[in-house]
Structure 1
Amino acid sequence: MNRDTLLYPLRNTSHTEADASLLNWAQNSVVGQRQQLHQPQNEAALQQLLRDSHGKVRVLGSRLSPGRMLCVQPDDVPLDLSALRGVLAQDAASVTFAAGTPMQEVYDTLTGMDRMLASAPGVIAIQTLAGAMATGTHGQGLQQSSLADEALRIRMVLADGSVREFVRGEADFPAAQVSLGSLGIVTAVTLRTGPFRLFSCHKFAASADTLEQDLPAWNTQHAMSKAWWFVDDNLMHVWNADEASAEDTQAWYANQREVIEHGDNADSSLNDTIDQTLAHMHRDTQIHGKGGKQFRTVTRFRDFTDISGDIYQLFCRGIAVPQINVEIGVPLAQTPQIIRKIKAWYAENKPHMHYPIILRCTGASEAWLSPSHQQPTCFFGFVVYYADDGSLSQEGLHFLSEVEKLLAAEGGRPHWGKYYDPQRYAWREIYPQWDAFRAVREQLDPHHRFSNDYVTALFD
């Protein structure tokens, strides 16, 4: 198997739920066998399982991450914690959820309580709470950071079956916030909450000529900002969101708490660019006609309008489609010069663009292994969708590889739950608390029961 196939594996299109093997969500890696899977019904059963077993342990969660993060060997103990879900406790300022609760359920529950998290949601909400935290899942907006930064307490079953509760303010709490599943098995998380608020999102198209100045300005001036960079056409599609007016709030409630669309005239200024992007995607995936979900991720930009709604309605709008997704976070202060370098590189090489570059910025994170640790960060996201036969556009993958090389050279930190080339990163240099995290891991899991090939390559 060549290196590109290891980094960007092809998709198994013939696998069915009746097969003995377990694949990750994208169906590009075998992560274990169904007969190996354990499904403890509560924390006590999980504790007993750890006491009675001896193999390495891995929680599979929603299996959204690349297969190398989840790989399970024949003697290992893979876990399905889907029974551990729902609200466990609440008070005026926080809600405690079982760790296997899907993020969509977390968001729906909080909305029903007229509460919300300070952190903006990730794009897709089918992942579990513990999995989303462990990989550093984030949204957009400099006034917040990752989901893990909203945790007040993290309850974890350790390798010997004992329970440890990490509390915000303790010296090793930042290790537990983003842990890659390598410290123990999270069973419950207490999240701080705030009053429910609504937001209005202004959408517009703009030239990328002044993106170096515009991107920091959008993020400084607005509560949340997200942008898509159509490099071929030198155009931006931008969403800037701020707290909704009293009038928009009243209209939202009158509309049965559904999203409000503003204006009778939709903006069609991006339609030609959208058609060109769709043509590239159809060629790359060799899917004819309108195609499937992956094409909806682009067509939603056609004839766009401003909208108002809650934070989850506005930003948790991802369409779950198997893909190779690379996302690299770079220091916000260096982002203008990095944009200039990308422009110069593009002008020289004219690479094939499969999908627009996605730009999201967050505030600094407390978590030691968060890509935004100690620094406001701009995340550059890149996507290549699978063809129906499980193949990938080689031109699209070449673009991913080259742009990752550029961002890694600028001190970029990859999103743990997405694809990246580990050879491009000197972990100790880009993570100031790398050795501190390793020390906590050695203390809590001295026999490395929560390790696998992926974790071993990182820390050992």
Structure 2
Amino acid sequence: MSNVVTNWAGNITFGARRLHRPAALPELQELVRAGGPLRVLGSGHSFNRMADTTGDLVSLSSMPRTVEIAEDRRTVRVDGGIRYGELVGRLDAHGLAVHNMASLPHISVAGAVTTATHGSGVRHGNLATSVAAIELIRGDGELVTLRRGDEGFAGAVVGLGALGVVTALTLDVVPAFEIRQYVYDDLPRASLEQHLPEILAAGYSVSLFTNWQTTDINHAWFKRTDELPEGPLFGARPADGKRHPVPGVPADNSTDQFGVPGPWHARLPHFKMEFTPSTGAELQSEWMVPFDRALEAIDAVARVREKIVPVLQVNEIRTVAADDLWLSMNYERASLGLHFTWIADTAAVLPAVAALEEQLAPLEARPHWGKVFTEDAATVRSRYPRFADFQALVAEYDPRGTFRNAWLDDILGR
């Protein structure tokens, strides 16, 4: 490639020979038929080498944008390159919404789905759970469609890019709704011990942010469909100004707060689409642990607080409902998510990541597929009861290894 291509964070420089931007489906199929190695580059919001390759990268950014709402208004079919920020306004204009969104509206829908990325809420599954059908080009270049209930569907949705190039997704939609966002400062540690399940269930979506300078929570964000009464909540006080998730960072790019009602797509993410997301240069890690062991997990992080504070920007604590997708981090268990935004220094961050993994191992923590983790692949595989079935599905859809790379070889154990 004549130009260096990196991921969004800049910590990964892709080793591909070429970057293709096909403009039509037949052109994309021919690229696949030519053989690999070939990997799809979405919005680049992965923090490890899952999208890297020594062969060719393909971006779907030049493919036609597709937003087709079904006649019954229960689903929408979108193309494989669309981002949430491009989709949500068009859905809202038709009085429709997706049930959940990630912190950043800048990510691609297909990339979020294939890695089981999520928003938060004890009653809400991750973004992949809204998929009703998936269309992909498998390793021989043929286009196939799998619908919810079909054999292999639950294994294909969170597919890590291993089964093929996702060209379209059909998503469940719901009627559009309004959300109010409230932020509270200084949630006491004692409140977590006494009321953690109630706190995390006190909104459509709830996020707790801490930099672990103390054992208290810096900010608690409650996204609700109704109003909250004035005054303290669980011992925390209403914020006296707009907040950014990272303590001390200017809040201009954060979504609106103070309980002002607004459309779902302008409140469920933490960051506005029109601004640069988050703090810029950073690394990210995330682990999902069983929700019924949530306080144990928070205690586990506290035990290595001194190791993580020097390299931590913020730790977000949130919840995700259980699902039946084979490689979802929330497979068959409601989860507490522990998301860490680190400084942009890989060498300094990795020891902190390893320390957290050691503490969280007894809880069978599942790392986010697209973020920084160091546990060996065999250990990660052991935490997914259907992993052998996924390996068989990969062999069926990509027997030539068109979509393989070193990262995926390690994960699959072959």
1:112-134 deviation line (CA, Å, top 9, x unaligned): 1110012x211112222111111
1:55 corresponds to 2:30 = no
Q: 1:28/1:427 Cα in 2 relative to 1: closer, same or farther (>3 Å)?
A: closer
1:375 corresponds to 2:357 = no
1:355 corresponds to 2:313 = yes
Offset at 1:62? 1.5
Q: 1:308/1:208 Cα in 2 relative to 1: closer, same or farther (>3 Å)?
A: farther
Distance in 1 between residues matched to 2:320 and 2:288, nearest whole Å: 9
1:145 aligned partner: 125
Contact kept in structure 1, 2:48 and 2:372, CA below 8 Å = no
Task: Please point out which of 387, 395, 398 is paired with 1:445.
Answer: 398
Distance in 2 between residues matched to 1:180 and 1:136, nearest whole Å: 9
Offset at 1:173? 0.6
1:239 corresponds to 2:221 = yes
1:40 corresponds to 2:22 = yes
TM-score (norm 2): 0.87
**Percentage of identical aligned residues:** 24
Task: Please point out which of 290, 301, 310 is paired with 1:331.
Answer: 290
**Count of matched residue pairs:** 394
Distance in 1 between residues matched to 2:88 and 2:151, nearest whole Å: 29
1:404-453 deviation line (CA, Å, top 9, x unaligned): 32123320001111111132761332101100111111111111111100
Distance in 1 between residues matched to 2:50 and 2:307, nearest whole Å: 33
Task: Please point out which of 286, 295, 312 is paired with 2:265.
Answer: 312
1:59-97 deviation line (CA, Å, top 9, x unaligned): 112222135112221xx2321111234235221211100
**Relative to total residues, which structure has the larger helix share, 1 or 2?**
1
Contact kept in structure 1, 2:48 and 2:370, CA below 8 Å = no
Task: Please point out which of 316, 334, 343 is paired with 2:302.
Answer: 343
Distance in 2 between residues matched to 1:436 and 1:393, nearest whole Å: 35
Offset at 1:172? 0.8
Deviates more, 1:337-346 or 1:126-135: 337-346
2:233 aligned partner: none
1:423 aligned partner: 376
Q: 1:213/1:66 Cα in 2 relative to 1: closer, same or farther (>3 Å)?
A: same
Offset at 1:167? 0.3
RMSD of aligned alpha carbons: 2.9
2:232 aligned partner: none
Contact kept in structure 2, 1:85 and 1:97, CA below 8 Å = no
Structure 2: which 5+ residue stretches go unaligned? Answer: 228-236, 272-276
Offset at 1:393? 8.2
Contact kept in structure 2, 1:32 and 1:71, CA below 8 Å = yes
Distance in 2 between residues matched to 1:55 and 1:234, nearest whole Å: 49
Structure 1: which 5+ residue stretches go unaligned? Answer: 1-17, 246-264, 279-294
1:12 aligned partner: none
Contact kept in structure 2, 1:227 and 1:359, CA below 8 Å = yes
Contact kept in structure 2, 1:212 and 1:340, CA below 8 Å = no
1:179 aligned partner: 159
Offset at 1:31? 0.9
Offset at 1:135? 1.0
1:210 aligned partner: 191
Q: 1:322/1:332 Cα in 2 relative to 1: closer, same or farther (>3 Å)?
A: same
Distance in 1 between residues matched to 2:94 and 2:308, nearest whole Å: 50
Contact kept in structure 2, 1:274 and 1:298, CA below 8 Å = no
Task: Please point out which of 13, 22, 25 is paired with 2:5.
Answer: 22
Offset at 1:328? 0.6
1:125 corresponds to 2:116 = no
Tell me, what secondary structure is at the counterpart of 2:201? helix
Distance in 2 between residues matched to 1:173 and 1:438, nearest whole Å: 14
Tell me, what secondary structure is at the counterpart of 2:121? coil
Distance in 1 between residues matched to 2:174 and 2:363, nearest whole Å: 36
Contact kept in structure 1, 2:327 and 2:387, CA below 8 Å = yes
